[in-house]
Amino acid sequence: GLRKGLGLFANLRPVRVDPAMVATSALRPERVRDVDLLVVRELTGGLYFSRPKRRYATARGDAAVDTMRYSTPEIERVAVRAFELARFRRRTLCSVDKANVLETSRLWRAVVSRVAQGYPDVACSHMLVDAFAMDLLRRPQAYDVVLTENLFGDILTDEASMLAGALGMLPSASLGAGTAGLYEPIHGSAPDIAGKGVANPVGAILSAALLLRWSLNRDDAAQAIERAVSRVLADGLRTADTVRDGEKPIGTAAMADAIVSALR
C-alpha cells in the first residue's frame, strides 16, 4: 500500500477531549475531562502484512491462516519514534502487548525495554492489551504516549475515539524516518453518506494541523487551527455525529466555514 511504499511505519493518533465535547463522550464527564493521549501504532508489520496469508480447502472444509511477524529493527524504529515524542509531552510511555501469550509480543517487550534504557527521562511501563483496553475506559487521563503493534493499535484507537465523542473528531499522521508523512482523519470513507454534506470535517482539519506541526515544523500554525476548532465547538456548533438530543446539527461546509472564520 501507499504507507508501506513510502516507508511510513509509525501511525500517530492523538486523542484529546476538547472541553466543549466532554458531555458528548460515551463516558461520564469526570472520566474524560483533560484526556490528552497519543497512540503510536506500528503500521507496516504484524498480522496485517506478514506472510503466509491465505485461505484454502481441506477435506473437512475451508481453513485460513494469517501470520504475525515482527523483527527487532521494525520494533526499534517505532519505539524510538514514540520515545522521542514522549520527550515533548509529559514524558511517560506505556507499551501495550500480549507478552503472556504471543512470542511476537515477548520480542516487542524486550526490544522496547532495551530502547527505554536510552531514554532515562521517560518513564516506561508495559501493559497487556486486554488490561489496557479496560483501563483506557476506567482512567484515560492516566496515559500520555501509548505504543503498540499494528493489530492492537487499530482496535484501541477506535475505542479511544469514543472518548472524544466520535470517529470524525480525530486526526492521524503516518510518518517514517524523515519529515514526509500521510495525514488523514481516522475514520473511513463512509460511502453511505457520500455527497450528502453531513460528514464531520473536524478530523480532516485537525489532520492538516498535524501536517503543519510534524512535517513543516509550524507548531504556531498548528496551534492556531486547533484553537479555531475549540472556539467553534465552544460555540455549540455540531455535525450530526456529535449532536445531542434536542440540538440541530450543521453540515460539513457550514462547520468548515465556521472554523475558517474562527481562524481569521
As annotated, the active-site residues are: 48, 98, 130, 154, 158
Nearest to 231 by CA among 204, 197, 202: 202
b/e 71-106 (16+ beta carbons within 10 angstroms → b): eeebbebbbebbbebbeeeeebbbbbbbbeebebbe
d(CA 95, CA 177): 20
DSSP letters, 9-23, are -EEEEEEE--GGGGG
Q: Exposed (0-12), middle (13-18) or buried (19+): which is 43, by Cβ within 10 Å?
A: buried
Q: Report which DSSP code applies to 223.
A: H
d(CA 166, CA 124): 29
Q: Exposed (0-12), middle (13-18) or buried (19+): which is 202, by Cβ within 10 Å?
A: buried
d(CA 180, CA 186): 18
Order of all β-strands in the sheet with 92-97 = 123-128, 92-97, 145-148, 36-42, 10-16, 171-175, 181-185
Task: Give Cα 234 to chain centroid, integer Å.
Answer: 23
